[in-house]
Structure 1
Amino acid sequence: MVAAYVGLGSNLDAPGEQVERALRELQALPRTRLAARSRLYRTAPWGGIVQPDFINAVARLETGLAAHDLMRALLAIEHRAGRRRDGERNGPRVLDLDLLLYGDERIADSGLHVPHPRLHERAFVLVPLAEIAPDLDVPARGPVRELLARADVGGVALADPSA
């Protein structure tokens, strides 16, 4: 079993419910256990596009799935939620699942980049990740706690439970 960390986000169609539903689907993946999850956080949109705030969380999975198989499963969960990857980056979305870390592996190919290439600069990932794994070492970047100390967390706050 490998510890894998997944970032979850949504800002459309009842975002809090979308993230909670995705967490249940992660738990149901074959040979996978939801070992920990963060609380839900409300975060300001990223990338300069006017859109609603996001609800974000991070999950720690213990999985027997290979990294690429896990990524395919994440994409299938997004698709079932209504996500269509149409090429628009940083726009509104019903569900976004990112494989942030897969053990201590480093993967860089056309279908997968692990650790996630921008994990270390995104407070909307670092805040919930630090909640469940503050001492986790991000390969080539350092401990989550130190990455978070350097991040601008001004746009991240605990979400209202009815989000």
Structure 2
Amino acid sequence: MTETPNPHIIDADTLTGEMRPIRRAVLAIGSNLGERLAALQGAVNAIADTPDVWVTGVSPVYETEPVGCPEGSEKFLNAVVLIDTTLAANRLMDRALAIEDAFERERTDVPNSPRTLDVDLVVVGDRRSDEPSLRLPHPRAKERAFVLKPWFDLEPDATLPEAGPIAELLTAVGMDGVALRDDLHLEVE
């Protein structure tokens, strides 16, 4: 006996006529102001609560020296979140900005100024973008151990498009200023 599809079940793609591919995305999160771990956990929760987003991995937490930040900036806590999503890259970027705003991120003209929360899109599938509001893959990810190391922990065989295998990139930049915090953990609730 063969099964036939239930004609009474209608899915969203049938209603809209859209077929949206599922893409793997890599998000880097960081904080160096206020309750840093609480901000990272809040970001993980908000990402997981986003419709059409499925969290597939959360890296260990690293404490890192500020890179390119104003003098006197505090250390960051950093992690990487892997997701599968059917959202378009620009919609995912809008969500990342909304999450930052929810944690009272202040934007200034000072590059790399301290922040309560930073949510960066590193990779969204094979999407490429050079728009000022959306640069994919992230243009500086290949130079940042605080992105590469947590990503490597989750996907050691991953490749950063247009840059190469993250294992090789991590070897090239080294681990100076990046320390694993075994005492801190992020959970998907």
Category of TM-score, reference length = shorter chain: over 0.9
- Residue 60 of structure 1 aligns with an amino acid whose one-letter code is L
Q: Could you tell which deviates more after superposition, 151-160 or 94-103? A: 151-160
Partner of 1:91: 113
Q: How does 1:57-136 map to 2 (within 5 A)?
A: 57-136=79-158
Q: Which has the larger radius of gyration?
A: 2
C-alpha displacement of 1:27? 0.4
Matched position secondary structure for 1:131: helix
Match of 2:47 among 3, 6, 26: 26
C-alpha displacement of 1:15? 0.5
Partner of 1:41: 62
Partner of 1:12: 33
Matched position secondary structure for 1:5: strand
Equivalent pairs counted in the alignment come to 163
| Equivalent pair of 2:31/2:77 in contact (CA under 8 Å) | yes
- Output the CA distance in 1 between the equivalents of 2:164 and 2:35: 35
- Any idea what the Cα deviations from partners look like across 1:72-115, whole Å, max 9, x if unmatched? 00000000000022222112100001000011221111210011
TM-score for both structures, normalised by structure 2: 0.83
TM-score for both structures, normalised by structure 1: 0.95
Relative distance call for 1:48 and 1:4 in structure 2 (3 A) is closer
C-alpha displacement of 1:160? 5.2
Partner of 1:153: 175
Structure 2, gaps ≥5 residues long? 1-21
Matched position secondary structure for 2:173: coil
Report percent identity of matched pairs: 39
C-alpha displacement of 1:152? 2.4
If each structure's strand is expressed as a fraction of its own residues, which one has the higher value? 1
- Any idea what the Cα deviations from partners look like across 1:15-44, whole Å, max 9, x if unmatched? 011101100110000111111010110000
- Output the CA distance in 2 between the equivalents of 1:48 and 1:95: 14
C-alpha displacement of 1:161? 2.8
- Any idea what the Cα deviations from partners look like across 1:107-130, whole Å, max 9, x if unmatched? 111210011000000111111011
| Equivalent pair of 2:61/2:184 in contact (CA under 8 Å) | no
Matched position secondary structure for 2:43: helix
Q: Could you tell which deviates more after superposition, 1-10 or 85-94? A: 85-94
Matched position secondary structure for 1:86: coil
